[in-house]
Structure 1
Amino acid sequence: MKRFKNPNTNIKKMLAQWDAEIPESILLQQKQRQSRRLFFGQSVALIGGVATASWVSAKGSTKASLKPVLSEPWLTVSAVQEHLFPRITGEHASPGARDIQALEYLQAMLNTPDVDSDEGDFIIKGVGWLNGVANNLAGHPFIKLNKADRERVLKKISASTSGENWLSMLLNYIFEALLTDPVYGGNTNKTGWQWLEHQAGFPRPPTDKKYWLLDKYKRAI
């Protein structure tokens, strides 16, 4: 009788290898962000319950809108973002990752001078591991899976240290995109603020005074 290999065996090996390769800087950064993520999550849970009914999809874009890189591995990253933070329609409508330009914001932030290059490398490498698990578990790369299989794959990788940190990092950037000033590339048309019924502080930053430009200016003085 022919014996078939258990796909879970290969998946365990993949995740163990991913865990072994996770940079220490990523683990440290994620620990530092933990309290911040908890704050974001609690804020969205508390405020979002009141605000969801008032959100409607806005057509068009703002001047701050950025054009994302729409090729792999970013198409897969975008699909993961949409699964983690999907648009909800109906009575309790809420924006999804695409509505708040989560991908554009992520790409913009990874190109800022104060972000460790390990973050971008970790996100890109994570797509490879994700697709390896998806192929073993469901026979196709993540982007070609249905909703149920995507959920299975994400749950599988979340059981590993590296997968948990990878998903956590993506969620962190999603919440930042939801709450950021649109000048930074996320929160298109103030969609996140409108959903949460948030009034931004004044003055808002102009394009030539983004926070990393101010830091550069201060160092030059």
Structure 2
Amino acid sequence: MNPLASPAATAELAAWRSALVSRRRFLLAAAGGSLTALFPLAAPGKVRRGDPWMVIAAVQDMLFPAEADAPGAQEIHALAYLRGVLAEPRHDREEGRLVLKGAGWLDDLSRQRQRAGFLALAEDRREQLLHEIAASEQGEHWLATLLFYLCEALLTDPVYGGNPNGIGWAWLGHTPGFPRPTTDKRLKGWS
């Protein structure tokens, strides 16, 4: 019998993959902190109905939920930041397509498995689908890309559209370097 196909190895791999998706686990481990809960649900951001950005906003809120003492995706303006980055003319167009297609893939999978769009699902069903897509190479890449931009939105200078008023810096106890960028240094994707 292949030891990698054993039930114990399969369970260990599943636990490892679920740990990959936990943004709190990642951020706090990177900051030297302790581990916290996985995937609490927050309300989606303000976006138009039928727009793939609604799905992206909901996933961002699940990956980076607000807590009593910590900002979440909405508070750090993660969706606006991501949209600004993807609108930047020098940004990799393939990555932008991946972000948008991933939302479509997730919504299609939701309709196939749950007979309803992702946004119509209860929290536990959404979590189940995110765990399912995280098990695929493309899904894991999509979620990792979203996590990357969530971290950027948390840590960027507010002039670039994320981390308003330094909320992420305050949460992490970070003092930004000087000189700070001025508004004339904004990328073209931000208005």
- Pairwise CA distance, 1:69: 7.9
Aligned position for 2:118: 142
- Pairwise CA distance, 1:83: 0.4
Aligned position for 1:154: 130
More helix by share: 1
Q: Tell me the secondary structure at the aligned position of residue 199 of structure 1.
A: coil
Could you tell me whether the CA contact under 8 Å between 1:48 and 1:196 is conserved in 2? no
Q: How does 1:170-185 map to 2 (within 5 A)?
A: 170-185=146-161
Q: How does 1:99-114 map to 2 (within 5 A)?
A: 99-114=75-90
Q: Bigger radius of gyration, 1 or 2? A: 1
Could you tell me whether the CA contact under 8 Å between 1:101 and 1:186 is conserved in 2? yes
The more displaced of 194-203 and 134-143 is 134-143
| Aligned with residue 45 of structure 1, among 29, 32, 35 | 29
Q: Which one-letter code corresponds to 2:167 in the other structure?
A: T
Aligned position for 1:75: 54
Q: Tell me the secondary structure at the aligned position of residue 67 of structure 2.
A: coil
Q: Which one-letter code corresponds to 2:168 in the other structure?
A: G
Give percent identity, aligned residues only: 46
Aligned position for 2:63: 84
Q: Unpaired runs of 5+ in structure 2?
A: 1-24, 35-44
Change in Cα spacing, 1:113 to 1:144, as seen in structure 2 (3 Å) is: same
Following the alignment from structure 1 to structure 2, what is the Cα–Cα distance between the partners of residues 143 and 190? 30
Q: TM-score, normalised by structure 1?
A: 0.64
- Pairwise CA distance, 1:42: 5.7
Aligned position for 2:173: 197
Q: TM-score, normalised by structure 2?
A: 0.73
- Pairwise CA distance, 1:179: 0.3
Following the alignment from structure 2 to structure 1, what is the Cα–Cα distance between the partners of residues 27 and 125? 30
Aligned position for 2:142: 166
Q: Tell me the secondary structure at the aligned position of residue 95 of structure 2.
A: helix
Following the alignment from structure 2 to structure 1, what is the Cα–Cα distance between the partners of residues 138 and 30? 29
Question: What is the root-mean-square deviation in Å for CA atoms of aligned residues?
Answer: 2.3
Following the alignment from structure 1 to structure 2, what is the Cα–Cα distance between the partners of residues 153 and 43? 23
CA offsets 1:170-189 (integer angstroms, 9 cap, x no match)? 00000000000000000012
Q: Which one-letter code corresponds to 2:60 in the other structure?
A: Q
Higher RCO (CA < 8 A, seq sep 6+): 1
Q: Unpaired runs of 5+ in structure 1?
A: 1-40, 51-67, 214-221
Following the alignment from structure 2 to structure 1, what is the Cα–Cα distance between the partners of residues 147 and 79? 11
- Pairwise CA distance, 1:132: 1.2
Instruction: Tell me the matched-pair count.
Output: 153
Q: How does 1:95-134 map to 2 (within 5 A)?
A: 95-134=71-110
Following the alignment from structure 1 to structure 2, what is the Cα–Cα distance between the partners of residues 48 and 104? 28
Change in Cα spacing, 1:46 to 1:124, as seen in structure 2 (3 Å) is: closer
Change in Cα spacing, 1:137 to 1:82, as seen in structure 2 (3 Å) is: same
